[in-house]
Structure 1
Amino acid sequence: MISHTSISTVASIIQLSVAPVFLLAGIAGILNVLAARLARIVDRARSLEMDVPTADAEVQRAEIRELAILDRRMTMCHWAIGLCTFAALLVCVVVMVLFVAVLSALNFAVPVSLLFIGAMVSVTLGLLLFLGEVTIATRWVRVSEQFVLKGKPLYDR
Protein backbone atom coordinates (compact mmCIF):
# COMPACT_ATOMS: atom_id res chain seq x y z
CA MET A 1 0.00 0.00 0.00
CA ILE A 2 1.27 3.49 -0.85
CA SER A 3 1.87 5.71 2.14
CA HIS A 4 0.40 9.18 2.54
CA THR A 5 3.86 10.70 2.09
CA SER A 6 4.45 9.01 -1.24
CA ILE A 7 1.01 10.05 -2.53
CA SER A 8 1.71 13.69 -1.65
CA THR A 9 5.15 13.38 -3.24
CA VAL A 10 3.67 12.09 -6.50
CA ALA A 11 1.02 14.83 -6.35
CA SER A 12 3.71 17.50 -6.03
CA ILE A 13 5.64 16.02 -8.98
CA ILE A 14 2.49 16.16 -11.07
CA GLN A 15 2.02 19.80 -10.06
CA LEU A 16 5.62 20.53 -11.10
CA SER A 17 5.09 18.86 -14.45
CA VAL A 18 1.94 20.85 -15.35
CA ALA A 19 3.88 23.89 -16.66
CA PRO A 20 6.08 21.79 -18.96
CA VAL A 21 2.98 20.04 -20.27
CA PHE A 22 1.46 23.41 -21.21
CA LEU A 23 4.74 24.23 -22.91
CA LEU A 24 4.45 20.99 -24.88
CA ALA A 25 0.97 22.02 -26.02
CA GLY A 26 2.34 25.36 -27.21
CA ILE A 27 5.19 23.70 -29.07
CA ALA A 28 2.69 21.30 -30.65
CA GLY A 29 0.76 24.31 -31.95
CA ILE A 30 3.94 25.79 -33.43
CA LEU A 31 4.77 22.45 -35.05
CA ASN A 32 1.31 22.33 -36.58
CA VAL A 33 1.80 25.77 -38.16
CA LEU A 34 5.29 24.89 -39.39
CA ALA A 35 4.13 21.60 -40.92
CA ALA A 36 1.27 23.36 -42.73
CA ARG A 37 3.65 25.99 -44.12
CA LEU A 38 6.08 23.30 -45.24
CA ALA A 39 3.28 21.41 -46.98
CA ARG A 40 2.22 24.53 -48.89
CA ILE A 41 5.81 25.25 -49.92
CA VAL A 42 6.27 21.67 -51.14
CA ASP A 43 2.99 21.82 -53.09
CA ARG A 44 4.04 25.07 -54.78
CA ALA A 45 7.49 23.67 -55.62
CA ARG A 46 5.97 20.53 -57.16
CA SER A 47 3.62 22.65 -59.23
CA LEU A 48 6.47 24.80 -60.52
CA GLU A 49 8.69 21.79 -61.21
CA MET A 50 6.01 20.37 -63.50
CA ASP A 51 5.62 23.68 -65.35
CA VAL A 52 9.31 24.60 -65.80
CA PRO A 53 10.09 22.19 -68.68
CA THR A 54 7.24 23.47 -70.86
CA ALA A 55 7.47 27.19 -70.02
CA ASP A 56 8.98 29.78 -72.33
CA ALA A 57 12.46 31.09 -71.47
CA GLU A 58 11.38 34.19 -69.51
CA VAL A 59 8.76 32.36 -67.44
CA GLN A 60 11.19 29.48 -66.94
CA ARG A 61 13.82 31.86 -65.46
CA ALA A 62 11.23 33.37 -63.10
CA GLU A 63 10.04 29.92 -62.02
CA ILE A 64 13.58 28.69 -61.41
CA ARG A 65 14.23 31.81 -59.29
CA GLU A 66 11.08 31.07 -57.31
CA LEU A 67 12.14 27.43 -56.90
CA ALA A 68 15.42 28.62 -55.36
CA ILE A 69 13.47 30.75 -52.87
CA LEU A 70 11.12 27.85 -52.11
CA ASP A 71 14.11 25.57 -51.53
CA ARG A 72 15.51 28.05 -49.00
CA ARG A 73 12.13 28.32 -47.28
CA MET A 74 11.80 24.51 -47.15
CA THR A 75 15.22 24.26 -45.52
CA MET A 76 14.31 26.88 -42.93
CA CYS A 77 10.99 25.18 -42.15
CA HIS A 78 12.72 21.82 -41.89
CA TRP A 79 15.25 23.15 -39.36
CA ALA A 80 12.54 25.01 -37.43
CA ILE A 81 10.51 21.80 -37.17
CA GLY A 82 13.60 19.88 -36.06
CA LEU A 83 14.51 22.42 -33.39
CA CYS A 84 10.97 22.68 -32.04
CA THR A 85 10.67 18.89 -31.97
CA PHE A 86 13.98 18.69 -30.12
CA ALA A 87 12.67 21.27 -27.63
CA ALA A 88 9.55 19.15 -27.07
CA LEU A 89 11.71 16.08 -26.48
CA LEU A 90 13.81 17.98 -23.95
CA VAL A 91 10.67 19.08 -22.12
CA CYS A 92 9.54 15.43 -21.98
CA VAL A 93 12.92 14.48 -20.52
CA VAL A 94 12.54 17.28 -17.94
CA VAL A 95 9.25 15.77 -16.77
CA MET A 96 10.77 12.28 -16.59
CA VAL A 97 13.81 13.53 -14.67
CA LEU A 98 11.53 15.34 -12.21
CA PHE A 99 9.79 12.06 -11.42
CA VAL A 100 13.04 10.10 -11.17
CA ALA A 101 14.62 12.78 -8.97
CA VAL A 102 11.79 12.84 -6.47
CA LEU A 103 11.24 9.10 -6.41
CA SER A 104 14.95 8.37 -5.97
CA ALA A 105 15.48 11.25 -3.52
CA LEU A 106 18.32 12.60 -5.65
CA ASN A 107 18.99 16.25 -6.38
CA PHE A 108 18.63 16.75 -10.12
CA ALA A 109 18.20 20.54 -9.97
CA VAL A 110 21.16 21.24 -12.27
CA PRO A 111 20.27 18.65 -14.95
CA VAL A 112 16.61 19.74 -14.93
CA SER A 113 17.65 23.38 -15.26
CA LEU A 114 20.07 22.62 -18.09
CA LEU A 115 17.49 20.53 -19.93
CA PHE A 116 14.91 23.29 -19.61
CA ILE A 117 17.40 25.93 -20.78
CA GLY A 118 18.24 23.68 -23.74
CA ALA A 119 14.56 23.38 -24.58
CA MET A 120 14.12 27.15 -24.47
CA VAL A 121 17.19 27.73 -26.65
CA SER A 122 15.93 25.17 -29.14
CA VAL A 123 12.41 26.57 -29.37
CA THR A 124 13.82 30.11 -29.61
CA LEU A 125 16.05 29.13 -32.54
CA GLY A 126 13.10 27.35 -34.15
CA LEU A 127 10.95 30.47 -33.82
CA LEU A 128 13.73 32.64 -35.26
CA LEU A 129 13.94 30.33 -38.28
CA PHE A 130 10.15 30.53 -38.59
CA LEU A 131 10.38 34.33 -38.56
CA GLY A 132 13.09 34.17 -41.21
CA GLU A 133 10.99 31.91 -43.41
CA VAL A 134 7.96 34.20 -43.10
CA THR A 135 10.15 37.21 -43.89
CA ILE A 136 11.46 35.55 -47.05
CA ALA A 137 7.92 34.59 -48.06
CA THR A 138 6.57 38.11 -47.61
CA ARG A 139 9.49 39.72 -49.41
CA TRP A 140 9.08 37.41 -52.39
CA VAL A 141 5.35 37.96 -52.85
CA ARG A 142 4.45 41.46 -53.92
CA VAL A 143 1.00 42.68 -54.88
CA SER A 144 1.02 44.25 -58.32
CA GLU A 145 0.59 48.03 -58.39
CA GLN A 146 -2.28 47.61 -60.83
CA PHE A 147 -4.31 46.15 -57.94
CA VAL A 148 -3.15 48.52 -55.21
CA LEU A 149 -2.92 52.28 -55.52
CA LYS A 150 -1.58 54.27 -52.57
CA GLY A 151 -2.60 51.56 -50.13
CA LYS A 152 -6.18 51.29 -51.44
CA PRO A 153 -7.55 48.24 -53.22
CA LEU A 154 -8.74 48.55 -56.84
CA TYR A 155 -12.42 48.40 -55.90
CA ASP A 156 -12.14 51.49 -53.59
CA ARG A 157 -10.97 53.85 -56.36
Structure 2
Amino acid sequence: MPMNIQISDIGHVIQLAIAPVFLLTGVATKLTVLTNRLARIIDRTRVLDDVLKQGPDEEFFSERETLYVRAHLINTAITSSTACGLMVCLVIALLFLGDTTNLPLDQYIAGLFVIAMLGLISSFVFFLREIFIASRFMREQHTLSLKRSR
Protein backbone atom coordinates (compact mmCIF):
# COMPACT_ATOMS: atom_id res chain seq x y z
CA MET A 1 0.00 0.00 0.00
CA PRO A 2 1.74 3.22 -1.10
CA MET A 3 2.00 6.07 1.34
CA ASN A 4 0.52 9.37 0.32
CA ILE A 5 2.41 12.01 2.22
CA GLN A 6 1.01 15.44 1.62
CA ILE A 7 3.16 18.58 1.59
CA SER A 8 1.00 19.99 4.39
CA ASP A 9 1.73 16.87 6.50
CA ILE A 10 5.47 17.37 6.08
CA GLY A 11 5.08 21.04 6.96
CA HIS A 12 3.20 20.08 10.11
CA VAL A 13 5.93 17.63 11.15
CA ILE A 14 8.60 20.25 10.54
CA GLN A 15 6.68 22.65 12.76
CA LEU A 16 6.57 19.99 15.49
CA ALA A 17 10.31 19.37 15.18
CA ILE A 18 11.33 23.05 15.41
CA ALA A 19 11.25 23.25 19.23
CA PRO A 20 13.42 20.13 19.71
CA VAL A 21 15.86 21.49 17.10
CA PHE A 22 16.24 24.70 19.10
CA LEU A 23 16.79 22.59 22.21
CA LEU A 24 19.44 20.64 20.31
CA THR A 25 21.17 23.91 19.40
CA GLY A 26 21.25 24.89 23.07
CA VAL A 27 22.65 21.51 24.07
CA ALA A 28 25.37 21.82 21.41
CA THR A 29 26.31 25.27 22.73
CA LYS A 30 26.45 23.88 26.25
CA LEU A 31 28.71 21.07 25.07
CA THR A 32 31.06 23.69 23.62
CA VAL A 33 31.24 25.47 26.97
CA LEU A 34 31.85 22.21 28.83
CA THR A 35 34.58 21.01 26.48
CA ASN A 36 36.31 24.41 26.70
CA ARG A 37 36.30 24.17 30.50
CA LEU A 38 37.67 20.64 30.31
CA ALA A 39 40.44 21.80 27.95
CA ARG A 40 41.46 24.54 30.40
CA ILE A 41 41.53 22.03 33.26
CA ILE A 42 43.72 19.70 31.20
CA ASP A 43 46.07 22.55 30.25
CA ARG A 44 46.44 23.60 33.90
CA THR A 45 47.08 19.97 34.91
CA ARG A 46 49.91 19.74 32.38
CA VAL A 47 51.49 22.91 33.78
CA LEU A 48 51.25 21.54 37.32
CA ASP A 49 52.77 18.21 36.23
CA ASP A 50 55.76 20.09 34.84
CA VAL A 51 56.13 22.04 38.09
CA LEU A 52 55.82 18.87 40.19
CA LYS A 53 58.59 17.19 38.18
CA GLN A 54 60.96 19.78 39.65
CA GLY A 55 60.05 18.75 43.19
CA PRO A 56 57.06 17.88 45.36
CA ASP A 57 54.95 20.74 46.62
CA GLU A 58 51.87 20.18 48.79
CA GLU A 59 50.06 23.22 47.41
CA PHE A 60 50.39 21.99 43.83
CA PHE A 61 49.32 18.46 44.80
CA SER A 62 46.19 19.96 46.33
CA GLU A 63 45.43 21.96 43.19
CA ARG A 64 46.02 18.91 41.02
CA GLU A 65 43.55 16.90 43.12
CA THR A 66 40.97 19.67 42.79
CA LEU A 67 41.51 19.72 39.02
CA TYR A 68 40.97 15.95 38.90
CA VAL A 69 37.62 16.28 40.71
CA ARG A 70 36.60 19.14 38.42
CA ALA A 71 37.53 17.17 35.31
CA HIS A 72 35.47 14.23 36.52
CA LEU A 73 32.43 16.46 37.08
CA ILE A 74 32.81 18.11 33.66
CA ASN A 75 33.16 14.69 32.00
CA THR A 76 29.94 13.58 33.67
CA ALA A 77 28.21 16.79 32.55
CA ILE A 78 29.45 16.22 28.99
CA THR A 79 28.14 12.65 29.06
CA SER A 80 24.74 13.82 30.33
CA SER A 81 24.52 16.59 27.73
CA THR A 82 25.49 14.21 24.95
CA ALA A 83 22.85 11.72 26.08
CA CYS A 84 20.33 14.58 26.11
CA GLY A 85 21.29 15.52 22.55
CA LEU A 86 20.93 11.93 21.43
CA MET A 87 17.46 11.68 22.99
CA VAL A 88 16.38 14.93 21.31
CA CYS A 89 17.57 13.58 17.94
CA LEU A 90 15.52 10.43 18.55
CA VAL A 91 12.49 12.56 19.46
CA ILE A 92 12.82 14.43 16.15
CA ALA A 93 13.21 11.18 14.21
CA LEU A 94 10.19 9.61 15.92
CA LEU A 95 8.11 12.72 15.27
CA PHE A 96 8.74 12.33 11.56
CA LEU A 97 8.35 8.55 11.62
CA GLY A 98 5.13 8.67 13.63
CA ASP A 99 3.55 11.32 11.45
CA THR A 100 4.50 9.77 8.13
CA THR A 101 3.55 6.20 9.06
CA ASN A 102 0.63 6.92 11.39
CA LEU A 103 2.27 4.75 14.06
CA PRO A 104 1.23 5.55 17.65
CA LEU A 105 4.63 6.72 18.89
CA ASP A 106 3.44 9.51 21.17
CA GLN A 107 4.29 7.66 24.40
CA TYR A 108 7.79 6.86 23.13
CA ILE A 109 8.29 10.46 22.08
CA ALA A 110 7.12 11.72 25.48
CA GLY A 111 9.33 9.19 27.30
CA LEU A 112 12.41 10.12 25.28
CA PHE A 113 11.73 13.81 25.88
CA VAL A 114 11.53 13.22 29.65
CA ILE A 115 14.80 11.26 29.52
CA ALA A 116 16.38 14.10 27.53
CA MET A 117 15.27 16.62 30.16
CA LEU A 118 16.68 14.44 32.95
CA GLY A 119 19.99 14.33 31.08
CA LEU A 120 19.96 18.10 30.67
CA ILE A 121 19.08 18.64 34.34
CA SER A 122 21.85 16.31 35.52
CA SER A 123 24.31 18.03 33.20
CA PHE A 124 23.47 21.40 34.75
CA VAL A 125 23.80 19.93 38.26
CA PHE A 126 27.28 18.52 37.56
CA PHE A 127 28.30 21.75 35.82
CA LEU A 128 27.15 23.79 38.82
CA ARG A 129 29.06 21.50 41.22
CA GLU A 130 32.20 22.00 39.14
CA ILE A 131 31.76 25.77 39.25
CA PHE A 132 31.30 25.69 43.04
CA ILE A 133 34.50 23.66 43.47
CA ALA A 134 36.46 25.99 41.18
CA SER A 135 35.15 29.06 43.05
CA ARG A 136 35.87 27.56 46.46
CA PHE A 137 39.43 26.71 45.40
CA MET A 138 39.98 30.27 44.15
CA ARG A 139 38.71 31.70 47.47
CA GLU A 140 41.00 29.36 49.41
CA GLN A 141 44.00 30.36 47.29
CA HIS A 142 43.17 34.03 47.74
CA THR A 143 42.94 33.59 51.52
CA LEU A 144 46.29 31.75 51.57
CA SER A 145 47.99 34.45 49.53
CA LEU A 146 46.65 37.15 51.88
CA LYS A 147 48.00 35.28 54.93
CA ARG A 148 51.41 34.87 53.27
CA SER A 149 51.66 38.54 52.35
CA ARG A 150 51.24 39.63 55.98
Q: TM-score normalized by structure 2? A: 0.89
1:111 and 1:47 map into 2 onto residues whose CA distance is 48
CA distance in 2, matches of 1:26, 1:105: 30
Structure having the larger proportion of residues in helix:
2
The Cα of 1:53 is off from its aligned counterpart by: 2.2
Q: Secondary structure at the match of 1:107?
A: coil
The aligned counterpart of 1:27 is 27
Distance 1:137 1:96 in 2: 39
- Which runs of 5 or more structure 1 residues have no equivalent in the other structure? 147-157
CA–CA separation in structure 2 for the residues paired with 1:33 and 1:77 = 10
Residue identity in the other structure for 1:44: R
Unaligned segments of structure 2, at least 5 residues: none
2: CA distance between counterparts of 1:13 and 1:112?
Answer: 13
The 3-state SS of whatever aligns with 1:112 is: helix
Among the aligned pairs, what percent are the same residue?
A: 35
With CA pairs under 8 Å and 6+ residues apart, which has the higher RCO, 1 or 2?
A: 2
CA distance in 2, matches of 1:74, 1:130: 10
Encode CA deviations 1:74-120: one digit per residue, 9 max, x unaligned.
00001100110110010000000011101111111100000000000
Alignment partners' CA distance in 2, 1:53 and 1:13: 59
Partner of 1:155: none
SS of the residue aligned with 1:124?
helix
Q: Mapping of 1:52-91 within 5 angstroms?
A: 52-55=52-55, 57=56, 60-91=57-88
How big is the alpha-carbon RMSD for the aligned residues of Structure 1 and Structure 2?
A: 1.5
Partner of 1:126: 123
Q: TM-score, normalised by structure 1?
A: 0.85
Could you say what secondary structure the match of 1:106 adopts? Answer: coil
Q: Deviations over 1:11-57 (max 9, x none)?
A: 000000000000011111111110110000000001001111213x5
Q: Give the number of aligned pairs.
A: 141
1:80 alignment partner AA: A
**2-structure distance, mates of 1:123, 1:113:** 15
Mapping for residues 115-154 of structure 1, pairs under 5 Å: 115-142=112-139, 143-144=142-143, 146=146
Shift of 1:6: 1.3
